[in-house]
Structure formats: structure tokens, C-alpha cells
Chains A and B, each alone.
Chain A
Amino acid sequence: MSVIDPSLRYRRREQGLMLLLASPAVIVIVALVVIPVGWLMTQSVYDNGFTLEHYRRIFSEDIYWRSFTLTFRIALMVTVLTLILGYPVAYAAAHVKRPWDVLILSFVILPFWTSVLVRAYAWLVLLQRTGVTNQMLERFGLISEPLALVHNELGTVIATVHILLPFMVLPLYSTMQKIPRELMLAGASLGGGPLHTFLRVFLPLSLPGVVAGLTLVFVLTLGFYITPELLGGGRTIMISMVVSRNVELYNQWGAASAVGVVLLVAVIAVFALVGRIIPLDKMLGQK
């Protein structure tokens, strides 16, 4: 004889309802992400029969290795730079009074609404040999020869940092805003100096935002195409450009999708590794 706990039945029904609520999103994700990615993976090992030719090429030719290391190096630089630039901005926005926080955030978000292509060209105008930056520096007598600020890795990093800065500032800001001010006061009342309370109280509490920002920026940089293409001078060949070149060179989607699959696996591996050192899920869950 079993008695069905009515609260259990209720909970089950509620769970079903929740799943139903999520179903439109699930359907969209399956249709737009799972199926295409599955198709992509199949293409990379299937060409009139099973083949590992595309993967063999990736692991035997050094152009792929060079582009992968360059891409991860740029992603790392961009991530660190956006954190260094973005943290103080988010901190300020979370601590100033009303009109000022709106002003700061709008400065962060406004460029976000401008096309990436337009911003990449704007950086070209600013950074090139005859550009605004070099002309100013020359006028002030700081340099005698124009600096090579663009058409290289440096130009790519500068523009990518600028484009991805909102992705760092916004998660940081939303986390910092939720940190109760009283905690800092409590820290101060217990005799902690401003720096000490910041390091021991505020910084640890803001870490979920830091992790969210780092993840977003890092992953987005890995797939960047426009900035290295326009500002890299043809030498800064990131992995997205190798994918596009492979479509042209090998006339098979498989050759390009194999590169995509390797990148995907590499990203998952990086996060699994980082997750072992830093408990990412706990930080994001704030538990």
C-alpha cells in the first residue's frame, strides 16, 4: 500500500510546467545550435565515407598550430586588458550617485550600438601612420618616426579590447551593485582600512562578475574575424580566418568545420582545466 504524497505530485506537476515554459527556448537551441553543430561535426569526418584527413592535416601542418597559439594568446591579452580597464569603470559606476552612474554606463554601452566594422575602421583612422594618434605624438615632439600601431597584432588587440569592453563591464557592474554597502561599513567598523576591506570583502564578493566577464570576453575573442582581418595587416591570422581560408582552399565544408571542431574542443578543455583550479560553477552560482 503506498500513499502518494500530495506535495510530491504537486511538485512533479510544477516541474512539468517549468519544463514546458522552457520548451520554446529548448526547441530554438536544438534547431539553431545542436543540429547545425552536429551537422558541422559530421561534415568534418565524412566525405564520401568516414575520413580523418581533415584532422590529420590540422595536426600535421604547423599553420594550424601557429594560428591556434596566436588566437589563444590574443584572447588572453584581450581578456586581461579588459579586466584591468573594466574593473575600475564598473566599480565607479556601482558607487557613484544617480546621474553619474547612468553617464558612465552610457559611455560603455553607446559604442556597443555602433557596428563593429565601423569601429574597426575608426581605429584605423586613429592608429595608422598618418592617423590622429601618430600626428599628435609627432606634433608634441614625443616621437620622430610614426609608430606602427596598426596592421599588426597590437592594432588587433587594441580594437578588440575596445569592442569587448562592455562584455566585461556589464557583468561586473551587475554583480558589484548587489554587494551590500553595509558589509564595507562593517569591515571598516572592525578596524579594516579601505584597501584591506576591499581586498577581503569587496573583491571576493565581486568574483562571480569577474569570472562571468572573463569567460564572455575570452570566448568571444576566440572567434573574432573583423578586427584581425582589417587591422592585422595580413599577418595576424586568427583561427576564424583559417576557417574562411579553408573553405576557399579545400572546397569542402569539412576542411573548415574540422578547424571549428578542434577550436570547440580546445575551449571546452581550457574551461575544464580552469574549472578544476577555480570552482567556476560555485562562483557563477554565488553559493
Chain B
Amino acid sequence: MPQRRLTFRTACATAGLSLALLSPLSAQAAEQIMFVSQGGAYQKAQTIAILDPSAKKLGITINQDSVPDAWPIMRSQVATGKPSWDVVDVATNFCLRGGEQGILEKLDFSKIPNAAAMPAEYRSDYSVAYEFYSSVMGYSLKKFPDAATAPKTWADFWDVKKFPGRRSLRNNPLATLEAALMADGVPADKLYPLDVDRAFKKLEEIKPHITVWWTSGAQSAQLLNDGEVDMVMAWNGRISALTKEGAKVAYTYNQGILQSTSLCVLKGAPNLPTAIKFLNEAVDPVHQANLPLHIDYGPANPKAYDTGVIPAARVGELPSAPANAKVQALMSYAWWTSAAGEAAEKRWLSFAQK
């Protein structure tokens, strides 16, 4: 893995270098940043849709690194006093926590006009949302072939009499507690602050019927595809990937939990001014609109939907499309990084064990 990462980095650096040679602007500027994301198909899609066009437009070199779990490394990088990363794309809760712990640069939104125009709940003092995905309910079409009688809500997921079958939830409280509360009748827009006791009580109800508490996205897709479970809470991109391969599965955005990753800048980032310039470019509506053409994630900047870049049929499939966002709950990362949220995370391990 380190070797592959190194070659990946070298390849990107080479690509960036050849870009720099082509671009007349960079001859005098030679600015660069180190951008870190999560790798895989997701990072490839960003490179085509956002990173390469941004580098070209700004005349900078964007070096890339990829880490599945950036959070501990962000902390240790800042602790050394000389971080080598500039911009990190990470689950929004880590950006908020990082801001609280003083390991991120506070953002001056007057220098990031594209982000300043985004809805306030999509950004924080230390971060700006980068892309959206959703925790949705997926189900087997073999088990529920008729759309009219298929499960549509979390209350249906919890109703083991009306909808018999095997179920799987993520082995993590984020989005799972929200689903439990919606199953218990809490409206999607009145979830926060979460009633943690009520959520865990509701989860105890469904626990005997949960075959697997999945830990990786790939696992959630495999379980549904192999018929190990009939219903699963999974990320929209995982299930839509199955449908594209012709698997007999479906999902609904109804009562989905809309989640995001955000961009944040490490405290003491070596190329701070360039990093801020990049941040603005990364949430540019056109670049953002390009992303869903390459992967099943939605743009974080709602203006992307007005650019006309995304075909109408595609819009309907995206988690952050206005019509889909309307029927979902927007995760409050502020709540999850609060003391109550962190306590709920710690409580989860004990819940999963018993």
C-alpha cells in the first residue's frame, strides 16, 4: 500500500508537473498544494472533475495523497508543528472536531466567495462541504418485487411482521440513531438534538433481527447482493453501483440521511494562501457539477444544479438534488461533535457488544 501510494503520488506529481509546464501562468507562480482524500474511484473521479480543472485554472500544482482514515494523521501532522498536508477532504464531523481542537485554520470566507454563497448549514468556521452522499434504505427486489408493497420508511424497516426478512445496519451510530428516531416517529426536520435514549431503546427492538452490523461499504453491498440480507441501510453509491451491474436491488431516498465530506485546511499548512485559493475553486458550481458525471455523489454547492452541466435524468439520482434533499434528513455534524454526540458514539460499542 505505501508503495502504491508513493507511485500514485509520483504519478500525480508528474501529471501536475507536465500541466505546470504547459500552463504559461505557472512559470512565474510555481505554486503548489498537497491535497488529501480517501483514494479509490472517488479520488479518481474528483481528479477528473475538480482537481485537474482547478489546477489548470489557477495555474497551480495539486499534489495528491490518499488515506482511508485521515483523522489520526491530521492530528499527528499538526502536533509535529510542520504539517506536509494543506487541504484534507474528510467526513465533516472530523473538520468540526479539528476546528474545536485547534488543528485547523479558521477560514476567511471573504476570500472564498463560492463557499460564502452556499447555505450556512453546509459550512463551518473551519470547513466547507465538498460533496454529499446519503445513508439510504436498500432492499432486495427478489424479496420485495412490487414497488407498491416495498418498504419505504424506517418504520417499515423496523416492522418485522409486515416486512419479514433479514436486515443489516451499519456498525456505527452516525445515521443509525437518526434512522431509529425516524422509525419511532420523529419527523426528519426535528431530529436534533437527538434523543439518544429513545434511539437506543428503538434500536434494541430491531437488534434481534439484525443479521450483520456492517463495517465497510463494500460489505453492505455484498450482503444485499448475495442475499444474506433483504434490507440494509447503506450509502446510496454502493446500492446504485449494484443496480448498474444488474443486481435485483433498489433503494429509496425517502428518509435518507444526507451526509457530507468537507474540505478543511491544516493549521500551519505550508501553502496556506494557495490552499485557500484552491478551496474556492473546488466548490465552484461548474467543477462541482462535473463530479456527479463521474461518480454517484452529489455536489455540495447547490448552484451546481443551475449550471445545466448535469443531465436532468442524472439529477434525479443524486442525493443532494433539491427534490431528493427535500425528503431526507440533513445530518447535523455540529450535534455529533458536541459532548452529547461523542457520548453517544462511546455508548455504541457497549450496545454492539451485548
Point out residues on A near B: beta carbons under 8 Å: 61-63, 66-67, 128-130, 151, 229-230, 233-235, 237, 242, 245, 247-249, 251
Contacts and interface: CB of A to CB of B under 8 A. Distances in A.
A128 B226 contact: yes
A63 B214 contact: no
Contact of A242 (B166, B213, B349): B349
B350 A234 contact: no
A247 B213 contact: no
A238 to B, nearest CB: 11
A62 B226 contact: no
A237 B101 contact: no
Interface residues of B, number: 25
A251 B71 CA distance: 9
A237 B352 contact: yes
Given A61-B350, A128-B228, A237-B352, 11 more contacts: A63-B349, A63-B350, A128-B226, A129-B211, A129-B227, A129-B228, A234-B212, A235-B352, A235-B353, A251-B97, A251-B101
Given A62-B350, A63-B353, A151-B212, A234 B171 contact: yes
Nearest to B227: A130
Contacts of A62: 350
Nearest to B354: A66
Nearest to B213: A234
Interface string B200-223: 000000000001111100010000
B214 A237 contact: no
B345 interface: yes
A237 B212 contact: no
Contacts of B72: 247, 251
B75 interface: yes
Given A130-B226, A130-B228, A251-B75, A229 B215 contact: yes
A62 B346 CA distance: 12
A174 to B, nearest CB: 34
Nearest to A57: B346
21 contacts: A61-B350, A63-B350, A128-B226, A128-B228, A129-B166, A129-B211, A130-B228, A233-B212, A233-B213, A234-B213, A234-B214, A237-B349, A237-B352, A237-B353, A242-B349, A248-B69, A249-B346, A249-B349, A251-B72, A251-B75, A251-B101
A233 B101 contact: no
Interface in B84-123: 97, 101
Nearest to A128: B228
A161 to B, nearest CB: 21
B101 to A, nearest CB: 7
Contact of A248 (B71, B228, B350): B71
Interface string B63-75: 0000001011001
Contacts of B166: 129
Interface string B320-354: 00000000000000000000001001100110111
A67 B352 CA distance: 11
Contacts of A67: 353
Contacts of A66: 353-354
The 8 closest A-B pairs by CB, nearest first: A234-B213, A234-B171, A63-B350, A151-B212, A130-B227, A233-B212, A237-B353, A63-B349
A63 B214 CA distance: 19
